[in-house]
């Protein structure tokens, strides 16, 4: 049922990296602690980065199994999160 309501996007930012929403979070989150004036918040930013990076393999396994065409898309779109790196 889940896969029948989902569509695989492979254009725009999805043509370069498989998870552009998470990549956007990686760009935005480091600016939050200085904006809040709390250097301790960088600890939470690091924890969020680690949780996103740890979640990606499980999410990709789920998508490969449940979303038609995802395996081919992941072979075509090499990078998960950071272009030319990972």
pLDDT of residue 2: 53
Any idea what the Cα angle at residue 14 is, between residues 11 and 79, rounded to 5°?
A: 135
pLDDT of residue 7: 80
Residues 86, 79: contact at Cβ < 8 Å?
Answer: yes
pLDDT of residue 82: 76
pLDDT of residue 31: 95
Give the confidence band of 5 by pLDDT, cuts at 50, 70, 90. Answer: low
| Per-residue pLDDT tens over the stretch 33-52 | 999 999 999 999 999 999 99
Residues 28, 53: contact at Cβ < 8 Å?
Answer: no
Sole residue written with tokens 């490969």: 64
pTM over 0.85: no
Domain boundaries defined on the chain: 41-86
Residue 54 has pLDDT above 80, yes or no: yes
């Amino acid at each position: 049922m889940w896969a029948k309501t989902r569509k695989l996007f492979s254009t725009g930012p999805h043509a370069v990296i498989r998870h552009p929403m998470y990549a956007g979070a990686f760009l935005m989150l480091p600016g939050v602690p200085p904006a809040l004036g709390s250097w301790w918040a960088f600890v939470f930013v690091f924890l969020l980065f680690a949780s996103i990076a740890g979640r990606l393999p499980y999410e990709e396994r789920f998508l490969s199994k449940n979303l038609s065409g995802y395996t081919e898309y992941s072979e075509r779109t090499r990078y998960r999160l950071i272009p030319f790196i990972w």
